[in-house]
Amino acid sequence: MDWPPKTPLRRRAQWPPEGIARAMAPQRRAGAKAPEGGGGGGARAEGRRRLSSGVKGNVPKDSRRKWLKVAFLLSSAMLGYLLSGTYFLGEDGVTEVLAHYSEHLPDRFIEIPCSEDYDSHKRFEGCTPRKCGRGITDAIIRREEAEKIRRIAERGLSLGGSDGGASILDLHSGALSLGKHFVNMYRYFGDKVYDIFTEEDFQLYRDVRQRIQQKIALAFGISSSSMYLTKPTFFSRINSSEAKTTHDEYWHPHIDKVTYGSFDYTSLLYLSDYTEDFGGGRFVFMDEGANRTVEPRAGRVSFFTSGSENLHHVEKVQWGTRFAITISFTCNPDHGIGDPVLT
Residue 65 has φ and ψ, to the nearest 5°, of -60, -45
The H or E element spanning position 177 is: strand 175-179
pLDDT of residue 161 exceeding 80? yes
Task: Share the mean pLDDT of the chain.
Answer: 83
pLDDT tens sequence across 183-194:
999 999 999 999
The span from the CA of 187 to the CA of 127, in Å, is: 36
342 confidence band (pLDDT: 50, 70, 90): confident
Question: What is the arithmetic mean of pLDDT over 81-94?
Answer: 50
What is the Cα 187 distance to its own chain's centre? 36
Stronger pLDDT, 52 or 222, i.e. the higher one = 222
Q: In the prediction, which pLDDT does 29 show?
A: 30
User: Domains of the chain by range and CATH?
Assistant: 96-177+184-335 (2.60.120.620)
Distance between start and end Cα atoms, the chain:
29
CB 272 within 8 A of CB 323: yes
Q: In the prediction, which pLDDT does 79 show?
A: 47
pLDDT tens sequence across 14-47:
323 333 232 333 333 333 333 344 444 444 445 4
The span from the CA of 128 to the CA of 118, in Å, is: 7
Catalytic positions = 322
pLDDT of residue 215 exceeding 80? yes
CB 116 within 8 A of CB 311: no
Q: In the prediction, which pLDDT does 72 show?
A: 59
DSSP H stretches of helix in the chain = 18-24, 40-56, 59-82, 143-157, 185-188, 193-196, 199-220, 256-259
11 confidence band (pLDDT: 50, 70, 90): very low
Q: In the prediction, which pLDDT does 343 show?
A: 74
267 confidence band (pLDDT: 50, 70, 90): very high
Question: What is the arithmetic mean of pLDDT over 71-89?
Answer: 51
Tell me which residue of 229, 183, 240 sits closest to 205, measured CA to CA: 229
The span from the CA of 203 to the CA of 340, in Å, is: 9
Tell me which residue of 144, 110, 169, 134 sits closest to 299, measured CA to CA: 144
CA angle centred on 199, ends 198 and 201, rounded to 5° = 65
The span from the CA of 308 to the CA of 10, in Å, is: 10
pLDDT tens sequence across 243-265:
999 999 999 999 999 999 999 99
CA distances to 12, 15, 141, 288 from 93, rounded to whole Å, are 11, 7, 33, 11
Count of alpha carbons within 13 angstroms of residue 120, beta-carbon side: 10
Count of alpha carbons within 13 angstroms of residue 308, beta-carbon side: 13
pTM of the model: 0.76
Stronger pLDDT, 74 or 323, i.e. the higher one = 323
